[in-house]
Amino acid sequence: MKTFFTPLISNDTKGFWDGCKSHKLLFQKCDNCQKFRWPASIVCPNCSSMKFSYVEVAGSGTIISYVKYFRAFHSSIKENIPYVVAVIELNCGVTIISNIVDSDLDNVDCGKKVQIDWRSDKDKNEIPIFKLKDE
């Protein structure tokens, strides 16, 4: 699967993308209220604390919504047709948007379990993507 975007890495997201280089999902977790911050931010949206740690989470979860694309929204990814963009609730409670790859797209549905996989983009960033767990 060809990736469309190169991540825009900021001070807030650098820890996440550094973890991805090592095939690890690292999310900010507030040191005060213990809630995950995703997307990453300078301040906790729950308690306004600026203190956090990066916590590694397992890359498994459940599809809670998805779209199957049969027409590329950009010519650079027309070779990927058809492809799936899914909203995935990870087992830790973080919700992430990613692609479902290397799976029978007819089996993609809400409630299906997924497991992380990785793809490199043109700039050698490691991008988290997912596969159906049952296949």
Instruction: Specify the pLDDT at position 30.
Output: 98
- What's the whole-model pTM score? 0.91
Q: Do residues 41 and 73 both lie within one domain? A: no
Q: Are 13 and 35 part of one and the same domain?
A: yes
Same domain (yes/no): 42, 79: no
Regarding whether 69 and 40 lie in a shared domain, the answer is no
pLDDT at 25: 98
pLDDT score of 45: 96
pLDDT for the residue 6: 80
CATH (domain of 87): 2.40.50.840
| Res 41: pLDDT | 94
Give the residue numbers spanning the domain of 77.
59-135
Residues 47 and 72 in one domain: no
pLDDT tens for the chain, 135 residues long, are 666 678 889 999 999 999 999 999 999 999 999 999 999 999 999 999 999 999 999 999 999 999 999 998 888 888 889 999 999 999 999 999 999 999 999 999 999 999 999 999 888 899 999 999 976
| Strand runs labelled E in the chain | 25-30, 36-37, 52-57, 60-69, 83-90, 95-100, 113-120, 126-132
Per the structure, how many domains does the chain have?
A: 2
Residue 72's CB: how many other CB atoms inside 10 A? 15
